Amino acid sequence: MSEAVRAVDAGLLEPALALAHDETLGRDLGAATLLLWRTRPAVVIGRFQRADWEVDAAACAGRGVGVWRRFTGGGAVYLDRGTLCIALAAPPGHPWSQLDVPGMYAPLLDGIVRACHAQGVDAERDERTVRVGGRKVTGIAAHHGRGGVLVHGTLLIDADLESLRACLAGPRGGDLGGSPRPAPSRPDHVQNVGGDGWEAALIAAFDARPEPLDAGRAERAAALAAQKYHDPAWHAGSWMELTSPEVRALLPPARSAGSAGSASS
């Protein structure tokens, strides 16, 4: 690594707080940071996607899977405890923050490949994904702003792939009603990498220095989780009036700051 990277393993978080941590990190950078977390079953759609075009409402409801929107673009993902979420962020002036698309994805993808090789998994990457035997094990999205760059993605370890396929079986089409056309997801063949010790492998792959979560950033993330990530209007986006009651029921309800915290079962 050209510069020291700090690593924060946030453990198991509620979806709202986890997404808020990613956004807080991406907008408020002080040093190159690797952030790791997991969450309970959830579907997370991209910034420019329409929820009811991306999910099968009945499959999600039957599995107790809510639908959330992240602050970056890209396609919909299914998360559960078998999926490791990985964010790599760098402040202005860091070499990683000077990279353009698609080069900006390379530091994270290369680190995931290094971790896979260390774990005995024969992985390789293209411009936007890591694959094992031609099947996708990770996908990414990014934010590049005045505060630096954040690239984040998922690593399928022992995710429930049956639920992934069922929940992400949205129609990806329908009446726009004058609203903007949403960005589509691109279905792909996926698989798990399996095994234990992935958090440690990722930290080692970036030669990162483990640190506890900064108290100030944790406070800002909790406030953002309660305000933005528990606002159904944020998750429905421009398509609120067109979203069916079945899909609206999957969006998170409004909640106070004190109730957005560690993940429950």
Pairing of strands 6-13, 209-210: parallel
Pairing of strands 148-156, 77-79: unpaired
φ/ψ of 94, rounded to 5, equals: -70, 145
Q: How far is 59 from 214, CA to CA, in rounded Å?
A: 37
User: CB atoms < 10 A from the CB of 13, how many?
Assistant: 22
**Minimal CA–CA distance to 221: which of 24, 89, 9, 72?**
24
Looking at the DSSP bridge assignments, the partners of residue 120 are none
Q: How far is 64 from 41, CA to CA, in rounded Å?
A: 8
Flag whether pLDDT at 260 surpasses 70: no
Flag whether pLDDT at 55 surpasses 50: yes
Alpha carbon distance, N-terminus to C-terminus of the chain: 37
Q: From residue 29, how far is each of 55, 92, 251 by CA, in Å?
A: 33, 8, 29
Q: How far is 53 from 6, CA to CA, in rounded Å?
A: 38
Which of 90-99, 128-137, 144-153 is modeled with the greatest confidence?
A: 128-137
Q: How far is 53 from 160, CA to CA, in rounded Å?
A: 21
Q: Give the pTM.
A: 0.94
pLDDT mean over 149-166: 98
Strand order in the sheet with 123-125: 123-125, 129-132, 135-145, 148-156, 83-90, 33-39, 6-13, 209-210
Superfamily for the 6-252 domain: Bira Bifunctional Protein; Domain 2 (3.30.930.10)
Flag whether pLDDT at 49 surpasses 60: yes
DSSP letters, 76-141, are -EEE-TTEEEEEEEE-TTSGGGGPPTTGGGHHHHHHHHHHHHHTT--EEE-SSEEEETTEEEEEEE
Task: Give the domain ranges of the chain.
Answer: 6-252
Q: Which amino acid is at 236?
A: A
Higher pLDDT, 129 or 28: 129
> How confident is the model at residue 69, as a pLDDT?
98
Averaged pLDDT of the chain: 93
> How confident is the model at residue 1, as a pLDDT?
43
